[in-house]
């Protein structure tokens, strides 16, 4: 029958429509099984990566650069789907893939007109044709009908609709309603205007001839016809049709790309996946940190920058800034994966291992003096020596000689093995070395920012190392008790306690002086020749690692981890703190009372904290409370609270005031010449 139909001249084929309808009906009645259509085209869809909140990050094209995005009915405007069914296949929900009623109606219409006016293709038959295109013959039509029956049994109604909206052509290299909506309208098809719906319904009929970016007049006419069909079908009013016809035609947009390197890597790993992949990345946070990286790199000359932000508890990567962006050299390089020298940023793990093994304790005294280990003679970064220091002081001040001394006791091979056992990889320089050396303590082996973030997250999680999670599924699947033990929890806590006491960047107040400031345990690193500047920190549930340097590995004299990377680390923590806080309340745009004006510096002391008129929060009251650190500018300052003298700070440090309770207090600072400054403050309970 099929071969005979194919050989019949076109003018006589109309007479076979009734026979075709009968054949289709017979096939349905006897349950004829068709040759299954090839499904590989439907299975090869562009992998799509969205952030943790469903915000689009990136997709990758498939066959010959075509964008074929798998449709998701839950993310597609339901009114668009309803109108599609009414206009394309009114009896879609009633027929089994082939509609005998439509075939008979089309046959009668064609016989009356004397030429083919309607092919009676259902949505399911159109899917069959797009899966395996054939020349439009009656034989091909019958094959489509048979395959439509098969598809309905295999995919079901919603599966057929999803397949249609995945495969429908929309001009150029666009396939599927998601690709078309993103390319033409710049957004997902979850909420479409009436004009957008009409254009999407018109395009598949002649995708190249109706492209709005190339044939706007034809596209506008076709859209208007679809709107009139909607009105005739009672789907919309004539007023709505006229208004929608006046919508401006869209231009084609480039597909959005956020977190270029990380989202591309996740997308490539998801190729062949049946659904959109939800990454752990936060698009809003990523965008803000990309701006910070670009700003930092621009201020450091021909440099780049990279940032890793990890949620310590579940190891979810919330931001991964690969480079400083297109305005800086090496913008295509993913520096989170590049091997760089860590400088001194591995020292905390050396001290943690030494504390755990009983080689040293935080108060163990070590010599910071010239020493030679065989043919290796380390020296401090500032080329000075500090005599006898405690391990606490040596780590807080990143002294090199005490660190090498401890590594000689722990053993370079043992240190490397423990880092490797936690899942991080150290790479030795290409010098033919078979064993690690004592230079390992000072950054003598390379590591990636990803591995460094994983190690610091372990410090913040009781010494347990776990792989970083790049998808929400992986973050959920990580059991709380899983992972590899890097170091004992007590040793990790001791090291974090030391790192929290490290001096902050020069433009930052110590945490004790800043209300609600995060207590960040951090360490910096500077590689040999000033090639790499790193800073890593753990605090408030976050692990952050930042790097700045040249893409070509060149030297940057004078740029260290402390002055080139640490300020960026604190800026990242500021952003994290800002994201977690509620929006600021509306208020008149006036300066705070203490900053109302700036007068010339007067002679005598000046109170820096707390300023006059301030309200401060105290964690507790009485002699056992943590207290508030007072700060003033001047020489030999003595403090008085409500006229009573306050004891000086221990060891010459900042004086600590422990209020007896909430209320108003008068603080007075008096210098060695008897000059005084007063601050009237209110204290509230925390």
Supply the residues annotated as catalytic: 88, 344
Q: Are strands 676-685 and 615-618 parallel, antiparallel or unpaired?
A: parallel
| Residues with Cβ within 8 Å of residue 58, at least 6 apart in sequence | 48, 49, 255, 256, 257, 258, 259, 260, 263, 264, 267
- Rounded CA separation 377/412 (Å): 16
Whether the CB-CB separation of 425 and 507 falls below 8 Å is answered with: no
Structure tokens at 229: 């069909």
φ, ψ of residue 24 in degrees (nearest 5): -65, -40
Closest CA to 319 of 47, 48, 52, 49: 52
What are φ and ψ of residue 536, in 5° steps?
A: -130, 140
Residue 541 per-residue DSSP state: T
Q: Give 478-486's long-range contacts (Cβ < 8 A, gap of 24+).
A: 478/314, 478/315, 483/458, 484/421, 484/422, 484/423, 486/349, 486/418, 486/421, 486/422, 486/455, 486/458, 486/459
Cis peptide before 610 (omega within 30 of 0): yes
Cβ atoms < 10 Å from Cβ of 63: 12
Nearest 5°: the CA angle 363, 369, 374 is 110
Report how far apart, in Å, the C-alpha atoms of 318 and of each of 217, 287, 337, 437 are. Answer: 45, 11, 16, 35
Distance in angstroms (rounded) separating the CA atoms of residues 74 and 328 = 41
User: By 3-state DSSP, what share of the chain in percent is helix, strand and coil, each rounded to 5?
Assistant: 40, 15, 40
What SS3 class is residue 619? coil
Cβ proximity of 332 and 585 under 8 Å = no
**Other Cβ atoms closer than 10 A to 550:** 21
Instruction: Look at residue 322 and give its three-state secondary structure.
Output: coil
Note the residue count of the chain.
686
Tokens of 137: 């013959």
**306, β-bridge pairs:** 547
Residue 292 tokens, joined: 């910070």
Q: How far is CA 572 from CA 448, 499, 546, 576, in A?
A: 19, 18, 9, 6
């Amino acid at each position: 029958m099929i071969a005979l139909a194919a050989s019949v001249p076109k003018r006589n084929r109309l007479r076979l429509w009734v026979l075709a309808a009968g054949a289709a009906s017979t096939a349905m009645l006897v349950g004829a099984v068709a040759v299954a259509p090839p499904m590989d085209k439907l299975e090869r869809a562009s992998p799509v990566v969205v952030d943790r909140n469903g915000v689009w990050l990136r997709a990758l094209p498939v066959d010959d650069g075509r964008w074929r995005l798998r449709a998701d009915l839950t993310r597609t405007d339901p009114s668009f789907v309803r109108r599609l069914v009414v206009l394309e296949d009114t009896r879609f929900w009633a027929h089994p893939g082939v509609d005998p009623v439509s075939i008979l109606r089309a046959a009668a219409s064609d016989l009356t007109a004397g030429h083919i006016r309607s092919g009676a293709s259902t949505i399911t038959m159109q899917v069959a044709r797009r899966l395996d295109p054939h020349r439009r013959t009656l034989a091909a039509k019958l094959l489509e009908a048979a395959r439509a029956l098969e598809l309905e049994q295999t995919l079901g109604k919603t599966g057929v609709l999803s397949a249609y909206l995945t495969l429908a052509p929309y001009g150029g290299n666009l396939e599927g309603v998601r690709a078309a909506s993103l390319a033409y309208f710049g957004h997902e098809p979850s909420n479409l205007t009436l004009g957008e719906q009409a254009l999407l319904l018109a395009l598949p009929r002649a995708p190249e001839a109706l492209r709005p970016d190339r044939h706007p007049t034809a596209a506008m006419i076709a859209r208007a016809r679809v709107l009139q069909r909607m009105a005739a079908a009672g789907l919309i009013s004539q007023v709505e049709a006229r208004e929608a016809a006046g919508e401006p035609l869209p231009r084609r947009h480039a597909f959005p790309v956020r977190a270029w390197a990380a989202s591309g890597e996740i997308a490539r790993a998801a190729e062949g996946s049946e659904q959109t992949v939800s990454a752990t990345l936060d698009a809003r946070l990523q965008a803000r940190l990309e701006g910070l990286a670009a700003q930092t790199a621009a201020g450091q000359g021909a440099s780049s920058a990279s940032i890793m932000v990890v949620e310590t508890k579940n190891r979810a990567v919330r931001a991964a800034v690969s480079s400083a962006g297109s305005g800086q050299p090496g913008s295509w390089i993913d520096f989170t994966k590049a091997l760089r020298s860590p400088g001194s940023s591995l020292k905390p793990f050396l001290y943690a291992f030494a504390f755990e093994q009983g080689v040293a304790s935080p108060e163990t005294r070590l010599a910071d003096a010239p020493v030679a280990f065989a043919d290796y003679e380390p020296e401090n970064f500032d080329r000075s020596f500090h005599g006898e220091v405690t391990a606490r002081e040596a780590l807080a001040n990143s002294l090199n000689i005490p660190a090498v001394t401890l590594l000689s006791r722990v053993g370079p091979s043992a240190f490397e093995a423990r880092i490797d056992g936690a899942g991080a990889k150290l790479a030795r320089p290409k010098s033919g070395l078979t064993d690690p050396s004592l230079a390992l303590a000072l950054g003598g082996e390379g590591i990636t920012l990803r591995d460094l973030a994983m190690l610091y997250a372990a410090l913040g999680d009781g010494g347990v190392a776990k792989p970083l999670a790049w998808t929400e599924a992986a973050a959920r699947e990580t059991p709380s008790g899983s992972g590899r033990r890097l170091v004992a929890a007590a040793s990790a806590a001791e090291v974090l306690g030391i790192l929290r006491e490290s001096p902050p960047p020069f433009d930052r107040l110590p945490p004790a002086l800043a209300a609600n400031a995060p207590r960040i345990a951090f360490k910096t690193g500077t590689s040999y020749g000033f090639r790499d500047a790193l800073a890593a920190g753990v605090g408030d549930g976050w692990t952050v690692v930042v790097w700045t340097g040249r893409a070509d590995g060149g030297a940057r004299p004078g740029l260290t981890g402390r002055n080139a990377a640490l300020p960026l680390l604190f800026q990242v923590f500021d952003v994290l703190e800002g994201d977690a806080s509620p929006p600021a309340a509306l208020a008149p745009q006036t300066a705070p009372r203490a900053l109302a004006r700036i007068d010339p510096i007067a002679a005598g002391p000046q109170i820096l904290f707390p300023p006059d008129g301030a309200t401060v929060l105290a964690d507790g009251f009485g002699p056992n409370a943590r207290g508030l650190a007072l700060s003033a500018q001047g020489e030999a300052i003595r403090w008085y609270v409500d006229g009573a003298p306050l004891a000086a700070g221990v060891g010459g440090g900042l004086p600590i005031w422990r209020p007896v309770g909430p209320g108003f207090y008068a603080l007075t600072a008096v210098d060695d010449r008897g000059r005084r400054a007063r601050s009237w403050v209110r204290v509230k309970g925390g």
